[in-house]
Structure 1
């Protein structure tokens, strides 16, 4: 059997990762997705190669420094080329016999899922906060019971959700193993784990979630979400 990733990292996020402009929490999510997605690994390689060529072609001296927007122009070119490359690429499959938690995530947690000690969130859901040296983002592993929803919420900032096991639906869209969902302040949603098995996800945020339920908001400070 093979794994087909359908929902990929955005050009902006991948380019920031390639240029070293992502904080540790976001980088964990991107690197873990890359471990599961050959197509995005190919995009990353292309961006790094193209960026290297552009830098080599640009002679920088103290007397002839580039304009302040030169890097923005380079990023725009890389983004447009990367988007075209993804659109033209044929779907690439990756083996499904990888560990549930690929590297580098597995090292942060000290092992694969069978070795984890989950903390209850309530209503059958569990989580494991992941410590990083990053003060910008919060990283956690989530386990949502099969067929159960996440409480409806919006966002105070960016949220990345990477599926590692099982699947969830968000509206009419299905996210399976390897798929990554990016959300921001414009999105209010209620993802639901599919009924076949529990859904394990990696979630990264840079601000507390904004829950619609008063009861969830009441316990939110205790849960740290």
Structure 2
């Protein structure tokens, strides 16, 4: 099942993923996005190759302090000079999943594809599935939002990553479809709305409870675990 990706993972987040410094919850979101994004996999391969070359070029001094900001600037400069090459990299093939909507590795966490899942009602036609991980830093869940319906308006107490698996949602003037990833933080207040053609199913990862504008939603928020 192919997807035209318009919203890609940021360089900073992808670099953390490539370096293996992301927590399990965030890594699930990035890996799910990459499973649906050939361009993302090409960028990841380029980062890994560039990082390996940088390590080979560095003359390590055990007594010297490492300037992480300088290292990141050097990495970005190297990636910039090779951006044209990135467009020519053949993305590695992912394992065939037939007509599966949920790609690996997410499907293994859930134990099956969409038709095998048991949803918990959130009210107003919305549903969720909380996904257990060994990561105490974040909460991972699937969300199903009815076609044409909004998520209650909210801001964030931390980071939120949302990957669309089925359907689409609009957020302001932007539309996020299958494979797209949205990165949000404390600076964003929004009210995503599922597009009217079909229900929207997303993977959402957060590291803090959402801050809902509605008093009623805040009242039931502890019971819903969102």
Aligned length: 221
**Residue 44 of structure 1: aligned partner:** 44
Equivalent residue of 1:75, what SS? helix
Residue 212 (1) aligns with residue 210 (2): no
Q: TM-score, normalised by structure 1?
A: 0.91
With 93-102 and 154-163 compared, the bigger mean Cα shift is at: 93-102
Aligned with 1:68 (options 50, 66, 69): 66
Equivalent residue of 2:48, what SS? helix
Aligned with 2:87 (options 71, 76, 89): 89
- CA drift at 1:4: 1.0
**Residue 191 of structure 2: aligned partner:** 190
User: What do the CA deviations read for 1:123-168 (whole angstroms, capped 9, x no partner)?
Assistant: 0000000000001000000000000000000000000010000000
Distance of aligned partners of 1:86 and 1:194 in 2 relative to their CA distance in 1, 3 Å threshold: farther
Equivalent residue of 2:3, what SS? strand
Q: Is the 1:33–1:178 contact (alpha carbons within 8 Å) kept by the matching residues of 2?
A: yes
Distance (whole Å) between structure 1 residues aligned to residue 97 and residue 133 of structure 2: 28
- CA drift at 1:56: 1.4
User: What do the CA deviations read for 1:187-219 (whole angstroms, capped 9, x no partner)?
Assistant: 000000000000000000000000000000000
Distance of aligned partners of 1:198 and 1:115 in 2 relative to their CA distance in 1, 3 Å threshold: same
Distance of aligned partners of 1:201 and 1:87 in 2 relative to their CA distance in 1, 3 Å threshold: farther
Distance (whole Å) between structure 2 residues aligned to residue 207 and residue 165 of structure 1: 25
Distance of aligned partners of 1:74 and 1:189 in 2 relative to their CA distance in 1, 3 Å threshold: same
Distance (whole Å) between structure 1 residues aligned to residue 69 and residue 212 of structure 2: 36
Q: Is the 2:167–2:178 contact (alpha carbons within 8 Å) kept by the matching residues of 1?
A: yes
Equivalent residue of 2:151, what SS? coil
Q: TM-score, normalised by structure 2?
A: 0.91
Q: Is the 2:148–2:196 contact (alpha carbons within 8 Å) kept by the matching residues of 1?
A: yes
Q: Is the 2:43–2:86 contact (alpha carbons within 8 Å) kept by the matching residues of 1?
A: no
Distance of aligned partners of 1:198 and 1:207 in 2 relative to their CA distance in 1, 3 Å threshold: same
Equivalent residue of 2:186, what SS? coil
Report matched runs for 1:1-225 at 5 Å.
2-62=2-62, 65-69=63-67, 71-82=68-79, 85=83, 89=87, 99-225=100-226
Q: Is the 2:42–2:86 contact (alpha carbons within 8 Å) kept by the matching residues of 1?
A: no
Distance (whole Å) between structure 1 residues aligned to residue 79 and residue 168 of structure 2: 27
Distance (whole Å) between structure 2 residues aligned to residue 96 and residue 107 of structure 1: 12
Distance (whole Å) between structure 2 residues aligned to residue 186 and residue 110 of structure 1: 35
Equivalent residue of 2:34, what SS? helix
With 74-83 and 113-122 compared, the bigger mean Cα shift is at: 74-83
